[in-house]
Chains A and B, each alone.
Chain A
């Protein structure tokens, strides 16, 4: 159980560290993309007219294939520019922009786009895949299971060998006791005085009964 809890803790710790590291990684990409778009806005180009956004998005997605979607959305939730692998990301991006409570997305980043007067004119939403080509979280989980299994096997062997050795003396004493308690046994390995007394009392009681039995038979005859 100890190993399982440690394994679980390690796995979940790694999962959350991995998620935050991944967020931090795509935050660098997102901030660069945001700056590139804001450069155009600061030149006085309206959000709708930022034609180079398409080009920027394409370049970003080629350089970072794990970026699954990029959207420029105005404050009303209208999408002006996008480059994504699926329509569902578009819907999610619009919902995110429109939502009041700022829900946390584990695989998304949202940036406010400001004009030169520091007024929010729209938003940039970046989606990324939860994992790269390989899934280190899964690999970590598998390693934890394998290590756990290996150690449990070793511990079982150690316990299997160790416990009988620890109780060897008690076990031997109990065997002696088993023979000694048998009143017909001729074993001489008494464990202690109480057992000798037990045998004496039992043997005596049995012989008394035997005597009574004999007398009873004699009466019958």
Chain B
């Protein structure tokens, strides 16, 4: 490994890359260290404060037991002689889950009776912490009659601490995702992009092109380099402009002008390289803003459906969500073509604005109809950002690195969705529905700012791509056998697995094991995390090896096999394994699917990348709709694990058929 202190021979790009990698690792280490230390301190504080409270509870239980026993003592029964005490104490324990045991002792500390409901106490009675025990003396006529001991439940304490631990772990995972996004963007803007821009300008000058200078306003080392670079170029440009105005030999000056590329005016144009990662803040923020309301949205909708009796409430609640999905799907092809024509900046910025307006309207919605309309506005914007971001990836990648680019899109999308959903739940409890929508609005406006500032596709801006969303184009795309096969046997089944199994069967299935809604959310995070972590790795690997259809085949088969796991492991662990497997499968194949699709039409000038992606995404949505329907029909006659396995087997068969089509030499379309 290179030592950063040694005068190693690295290019600027290598140094920047190394620095970026190290800063990511360093940030992760700092975040993890800080989070672990804080969670340790927080848990310790929580436990000690809670024990203090529970001691008070144990004392009150002791007083209550004492007063009951004293009544019997008053009637002449000693502690040992009293009957029915056991059932009385058992009842007391049932009503106080924080208490593990109540015990009665004689004056000589000989045990008369011990009642416990806590398995941890029964198995480890001697090892109980003294802090967990509250002893009360029983006095009658100033004479000690015995003792009542109340033991705080260690199980109850552990449960409370565990709940916090899960929360802390969730927050830690989300923090890491956020940190990664921020560090990637900051290093991109302040390190990778300036270095790439310096190289680009230097290369231009080497080819005798003095028409551009480096756009940089920073006051750091990058800024100083930009100053040196610009001043060198500026000297040539101004010296030339001086002689071109003089009386010298016009022929020689003309020859000089022919030899060197110089700006038309005295000011060279400012240049700054656009990096692939520049779409990430906009996409991340939009997905994050939308996901903030994911956890509570059905509850929010219920406020508007009260009193509407003509349609079942379950259907009413689903209407705004369905409207969102519908308008999202409708906006995708239109926005795709618009972004091909106008460049990616406008649709992304406009989309972000639509999302923001949609949230403002949602927060002010006074009727159910207005709520649906406001969600439709957000959905249109969401679709614009979604498709333009994919177009941006297509613009800034080649066939060689497109899978990695698409994987970056997918990981960013899931990263935003995961973080938003997790933080939204916390936020709404504290600031309420409307304020959470205001937060979403602010984030969407932030996304618009990023789109305007950083999204630029110079080779697209102003370029006229004459592609209409015509039936001819639609049919042309669909007539490609490989495209059709990929869609029917791989992409749609993937969405069926996602919507049918993960969002429909898995939560119901987990519920049968006594897992509540908030814990179900933690199970589902496994899918998102797999997408975020594995997708970029598999994308890079697919680009390196070039056999993208292998990844599609592997992903499809693994998804099918994963859904069969609950058939053999019929508990919550089996479901978790299947969700994790599905996440790995989709992370391995989704970016390759999209890359293959773009590769199939790369030579077709009539079709822009945006239009191809739009049509692909539009048809793919059939899987999202069909998934819950298929699962719902199968569940009527089969168990959860059988239904999951049936979808799994179907997915695997689909993956194999698609694999065969790709291997077949007779089928049409371009190869990856």
Contact = CB atoms under 8 A, between A and B. Distances in A.
Interface of A: 1-3, 5-10, 12-14, 17-18, 21-22, 24-29, 31-32, 63-64, 132, 136, 139-140, 143-144, 147-148, 151-152, 154-155, 158-159, 162-163, 165-171, 173-175, 177-179, 181-183, 191-192, 194-195, 197-198, 201-202, 205-206, 208-210, 212-213, 215-216, 219-220
Contact of A143 (B45, B54, B167): B45
Dominant secondary structure at the A interface: helix
B144 interface: no
B191 interface: yes
A132 B22 CA distance: 51
Which of A63, A132, A173: most chain B CB closer than 10 A?
Answer: A173
Interface stretch (B232-240, B369-377, B392-400, B602-610): B232-240
A212 B42 contact: no
Nearest to B59: A25
A3 B248 contact: no
A143 B168 CA distance: 17
Interface string B163-182: 11001100110110011000
A13 B163 contact: yes
Given A2-B171, A6-B42, A169-B4, A212 B164 contact: no
Given A14-B50, A21-B54, A170 B171 contact: no
How big is the B interface, by class? Answer: 35 or more
A212 B199 contact: no
Which of B67, B205, B247, B249: most chain A CB closer than 10 A?
Answer: B205
25 contacts: A2-B172, A2-B174, A2-B175, A2-B179, A5-B426, A7-B42, A9-B164, A13-B163, A17-B50, A17-B160, A25-B57, A154-B34, A155-B34, A162-B30, A169-B19, A170-B191, A170-B221, A174-B221, A174-B222, A192-B11, A198-B202, A213-B242, A213-B246, A213-B248, A216-B247
A6 B38 contact: yes
Given A27-B96, A209-B236, A216-B248, 18 more contacts: A2-B34, A6-B171, A9-B164, A22-B53, A24-B98, A28-B61, A143-B41, A144-B45, A147-B38, A147-B42, A170-B12, A173-B12, A178-B227, A194-B202, A194-B203, A198-B206, A219-B249, A220-B247
A171 B5 CA distance: 11
Nearest to B49: A136
B661 interface: no
B210 interface: yes
B235 A183 contact: yes
Contacts, number: 237
B227 to A, nearest CB: 8
B60 A28 contact: yes
Dominant secondary structure at the B interface: helix
A39 to B, nearest CB: 10
Contacts of B224: 174-175, 178
Contacts of B67: 32
Interface in B31-81: 31, 34-35, 37-39, 41-43, 45-46, 49-50, 52-54, 56-57, 60-61, 63-64, 67-68
Given A9-B164, A29-B60, A220-B247, A206 B50 contact: no
B228 A178 contact: yes
Given A6-B171, A22-B53, A162 B64 contact: no
Contact of A212 (B46, B97, B191, B253): B253
Contacts of A12: 429-430
Contacts of A151: 34, 37-38
A1 B178 contact: yes
Contact of A3 (B26, B34, B202): B34
Contacts of A175: 221, 224
Contacts of A25: 53, 56-57, 60
A201 B262 CA distance: 13
Contacts of B231: 182
A158 B23 CA distance: 12
Interface in B6-23: 8, 10-12, 15-16, 18-19, 22-23
A125 B64 CA distance: 18
B323 interface: no
A170 B16 contact: yes
Contacts of A29: 60, 64
B444 interface: no
Contact of B5 (A27, A168, A198, A216): A168
A174 B26 contact: no
Contacts of B53: 18, 21-22, 25, 136
A170 B19 contact: yes
B626 interface: no
Given A5-B423, A209-B236, A148 B38 contact: yes
